[in-house]
Amino acid sequence: MAGLAQYSDKFSNPLFTRFIQEIPVKADFIMGRFLPRQETFETKFHESYVTRQADMANIVSTLAEVPLTDRDPMRKVSGEIADIAQGYLVTKEELGALMDKSSDTTRRTLAETQLLGKTVQIRQNVDARIEWMGAQALTEGTLTYNKDGVLLTVDFGIQASNKKTAAVKWDDISPTIIADYEAWVAAYIALNGVGPALYMTSTAVINKMLNDTLVRKQITGLSDKLITITELNAFLTGRNMPGVEAWDSQVTYRDLNNGSRTSARLLNAKKGVFLREGGEIGQQLMGPTIENEMKPGIFAETIDLKMPTRSVINVVASSFPKISNPDLIMQTTVLA
């Protein structure tokens, strides 16, 4: 018996995979700003990076020997790219609608459109896992996954001095928010030679900053005058510090045993993280999959099963965050 791809050419490759790959990443998935996706044909990576290369060259005479510097310290980065997949079981009714041979094509067209919509959701679910992996690296410094017999435990090497905690939490009495912020930015610059591009945190943290009477007085001269995030960021950038940006994205987990769903934030509401953009921190590697004949990139396929007859839409990828410069990540805990 023919399968799903035979009843609709939209589900046959290479058209089906091209459709999947052209679906844009959701706007609230922002990891690409810090860890741009980079395709690789490797399933494992073992690389070395110079940790510092900022020694100014000497001025020399035409007769003098060129001074040689010692070898720069190297940082080793390694990891194994993880497979990611999600499928959708096409119901008998959906498959039957695609097989409709009547002159009225409405039912068939509707079934086709609905199945493509399901495929879009699956692609977004794969993107959500990729987003989660990058967020774990940046906001926690570690990645731990233990589900369905798959165990991943990775430490991305963020040094202890880049994990800050406010001495007086920003939701406590008399916090020193701007002083804390200035000190952390200064420490970031001292370590890296450049400042962070921005401070990603929760709306809850930003509201504490906006509502703090000392912050208001420092910005406006009046402790009871309301301020906006635009005014706060203008003040911060005017003092040569990065602005703040809210990041409240969540992902949802589903228990395959009982079907229950649990939502989790990608960034803890009590924390914030100083970052730089454009791939300076690292990349989100997109590796090869067996389903795609060991070529990189997201791949889609339909699988036809019998006894009973049914079809499965399967979307697969492989990915892993490669953090080549963890010093550019500074994590802070600011709320109690």
Per-residue pLDDT for 216 more than 50? yes
User: 0.95 exceeded by the pTM?
Assistant: no
- Give the dihedral sign, CA 297/301/305/309: positive
Q: What is the pLDDT of residue 306?
A: 79
Q: In the structure, what pLDDT confidence band is assigned to residue 215 with cuts at 50, 70 and 90? A: very high
Q: Residue 1: its pLDDT value, please?
A: 46
Amino acid at 287: G
pLDDT at position 211 over 50? yes
DSSP letter string, 85-105: EEEEEE-HHHHHHHT--SS--
The per-residue pLDDT for range 33-88, each reduced to its tens digit, is 999 999 999 888 776 555 555 556 666 666 666 555 555 555 667 778 999 999 99
Higher per-residue confidence, 184 vs 308: 184
Tell me which residue of 248, 298, 285, 283 sits closest to 269, measured CA to CA: 248
Q: How confident is the model at residue 92 (pLDDT cuts 50, 70, 90)?
A: confident
Taken in order of first residue, the domains within the chain and their CATH numbers are 4-51+74-156+277-327 (3.15.30.10)
- Asked if residues 329 and 281 have their Cβ atoms less than 8 Å apart, the reply is yes
Lowest mean pLDDT among 144-153, 162-171, 244-253: 144-153
